[in-house]
Structure 1
């Protein structure tokens, strides 16, 4: 006898109860009635308030418009400030350029006056020393000392060596790799090597772009400018060595300095050329601040 149990009896589950989720899905009854009621309530409130979609859209569109207006205002204000500052900057730059030009002209005028006063002093001293034998001997010693200290101008034949930066934008010029990051620039050490090579070759006097060199002259770099005794030079750099032209050229040719400069010319395109000058005049050097040593006093016993 088979006992039949009522479907509504507690504790009994239908064998196909686990399939009810799939049945509800295919029947379109997956959502709980409570969720459906809550969604209906939100829809009714939105209808009474005018609808959430259009209101949010209007608010979002108004915010974007406000941001665009503020951005445009800021850009307009910045542009106006730049336009107002451009004339001021141009005026300040023009004033600085004018001041530099005025100071440069003033310095050149003072240098020319100094040269005239030196020449007049030399003439008066030579006239005073020529009146006696002792004076003439003193004048000869002063002339030798002045030549050694570059304190007097000199003339004669010489050798002119020119260094220059590599031409920019020249496709045939070799690219600089380790000598100059900007491409084929002349550095202060290049001029130092050249000057030392000319001294070793027997030059009696040397000037760089008209600046006479002494035993204490410094050739160095300040920023991108090469300076001789704190006076900036402009390229090309022309080094004039006074002395026997044939002897200077023969002694300088194939020296260490000449080989270095020829290598820079071949590898980096630096300008390097030499010419003879039958008649050159080198000015006197500027005043030299003398520094000397004195013997130390012996301590007593």
Structure 2
């Protein structure tokens, strides 16, 4: 093969050319790459793979099967150990749950007992204070001012006409597209603390004189907060249905509350999630006194 053949990919430029016949047609030589594409249809990689299989044909397949069986046994052993540990830990877990549940019930009973004792002592202090101050004009004036302050601080039980707003959480709804934004992820709860806060504020704007949520009186130091999947009012858990009792002029409050952002919010949740919302008037509602905490520092805001 001449040197020039390497320029054409290793194919002899004179290959196929007739050297004896005068004026015979000349054939154009093809480069080796194009020739291989037209004549050799099998990729060289297949031949290399076949050769590698031939070289490894002598290795016993029992070794490969052995490794696969060992891996399967290891996986089965891991799952077996995990199942055994779960069965062993199940009684301990149930016992721990029972202990925690008992502790919670005992704490709730103690809290109820202390609350009743506090209310009794408060009533005794109020009675003693009134008996001592009713003897003269200055004392009666002080008692009047204290009564006004107690009503503003929700420190006294009240009875009167008003409204009852009942909000029922339906749990999981058919459509969970969250038009109200940021429901609790993975929870069946729809009503959140900010919903009740907005409703309570709307009731105050509507002319409420006293408000209780879930039987807990709303006062200056009372908060409505989310705690995981539950709602706390003054650190006391409440659950659905959420009952809001409001004392005030029923007709005036109903008209104003019907146009408030709080009720509009509830109607949106009702349409989107199936939340139950009902507003009814009542002739005589009884609201308990709220908890009063000592305020050490206070500053007036506004006039």
Given the two structures, how large is their TM-score scaled by the length of structure 2? 0.70
**Number of positions where the alignment pairs a residue of Structure 1 with one of Structure 2:** 239
Residues 183 and 109 of structure 1: CA distance in aligned 2, closer, same or farther (over 3 Å): closer
- Distance in 2 (CA, whole Å) between partners of 1:201 and 1:59 is 83
How do 1:279-290 and structure 2 match up within 5 A? 279-290=284-295
Residues 65 and 285 of structure 1: CA distance in aligned 2, closer, same or farther (over 3 Å): same
CA shift at 1:64, angstroms?
Answer: 5.0
Residues 139 and 92 of structure 1: CA distance in aligned 2, closer, same or farther (over 3 Å): same
Find out whether 1:191 has 2:192 as its counterpart.
Answer: no
Residue of 152, 157, 160 corresponding to 1:156:
160
Q: Is the 8 A contact 2:214 2:238 kept in 1?
A: yes
Q: Is the 8 A contact 1:188 1:220 kept in 2?
A: yes
Find out whether 1:126 has 2:117 as its counterpart.
Answer: no
| RMSD after superposition | 2.6
- Distance in 1 (CA, whole Å) between partners of 2:176 and 2:284 is 37
Given the two structures, how large is their TM-score scaled by the length of structure 1? 0.70
Residue of 111, 117, 128 corresponding to 1:107:
111
Residue of 292, 295, 299 corresponding to 2:298:
292
Please tell me whether Structure 1 or Structure 2 has the larger radius of gyration of its CA atoms. Answer: 1
How do 1:49-198 and structure 2 match up within 5 A? 56=60, 63-168=67-172, 175-179=176-180, 180=183, 185-198=190-203
Residues 289 and 67 of structure 1: CA distance in aligned 2, closer, same or farther (over 3 Å): same
Structure 1 stretches lacking a partner, 5+ long = 1-51, 295-301
- Distance in 2 (CA, whole Å) between partners of 1:71 and 1:267 is 47
Q: Which runs of 4+ in 1 moved over 6 A?
A: none
Q: Is the 8 A contact 1:129 1:136 kept in 2?
A: yes
- Distance in 2 (CA, whole Å) between partners of 1:99 and 1:153 is 31
Find out whether 1:257 has 2:262 as its counterpart.
Answer: yes
How do 1:18-57 and structure 2 match up within 5 A? 56=60
Partner of 1:218: 223
Structure 2 stretches lacking a partner, 5+ long = 1-56
- Superposed CA deviations along residues 78-131 of structure 1, whole A, max 9, x for unmatched, are 322221111111111111111111111111111111111112222222222223
- Distance in 1 (CA, whole Å) between partners of 2:298 and 2:73 is 76
- Distance in 2 (CA, whole Å) between partners of 1:197 and 1:165 is 20
Residues 272 and 183 of structure 1: CA distance in aligned 2, closer, same or farther (over 3 Å): same
- SS of 2:60 mapped into structure 1: helix
CA shift at 1:267, angstroms?
Answer: 2.9
Residues 72 and 266 of structure 1: CA distance in aligned 2, closer, same or farther (over 3 Å): closer
- Distance in 1 (CA, whole Å) between partners of 2:188 and 2:65 is 55
- Distance in 2 (CA, whole Å) between partners of 1:183 and 1:82 is 28
Q: Is the 8 A contact 2:169 2:241 kept in 1?
A: yes
Residues 74 and 267 of structure 1: CA distance in aligned 2, closer, same or farther (over 3 Å): closer
- SS of 1:265 mapped into structure 2: helix
Residues 82 and 142 of structure 1: CA distance in aligned 2, closer, same or farther (over 3 Å): same
Q: Is the 8 A contact 1:176 1:183 kept in 2?
A: no
